[in-house]
Amino acid sequence: MEKPILSDKDIFPSGKVIFSHIKRSRTLWESLFEYIKTEYPDISREWRYYLDGKRWLLKVTRKSKTMFWLSLVDHSFRTTFYFNHKAERLIRESNIPDRLKEQFLGKDRSRKIHGITIVFKNKKDVEYAKKLLEIKLKIK
């Protein structure tokens, strides 16, 4: 079981707080968000404390569309992109690893949406997130 991070609703996840938790993954964080800022300046971020999960989550949106959710894990962070069935062809044809594709393709096909979660460990994970963001933006 993972250790709860950002579980105190009274401590807003400022940069200082975030970087104290993600440690060496800071460069991955900065790379991801610099890319988003440069390529998609209309994408916004909002931290919210959610009572059901008892932790802070970052909701990343473009207009009213949620691009992905982000949470902190011990010494890193993770993103979850949710896709409906319209994304299947793009996900199958993408260059993301099979282990990520399987998160989407291997699920119960009766459900309307499926998530793909990346735990950031190296530079390739940033590239996979960029690809998933690109797919998300192509889906209407």
pLDDT in tens, 86-140: 999 999 999 999 999 999 988 666 678 999 999 999 999 999 999 999 999 999 7
Contact (CB, 8 A) for 77 and 68: no
Instruction: Record the tokens describing residue 121, joined without a space.
Output: 């460990």
pLDDT in tens, 27-59: 999 999 999 999 999 999 999 999 999 999 999
Give the domain ranges of the chain.
15-138
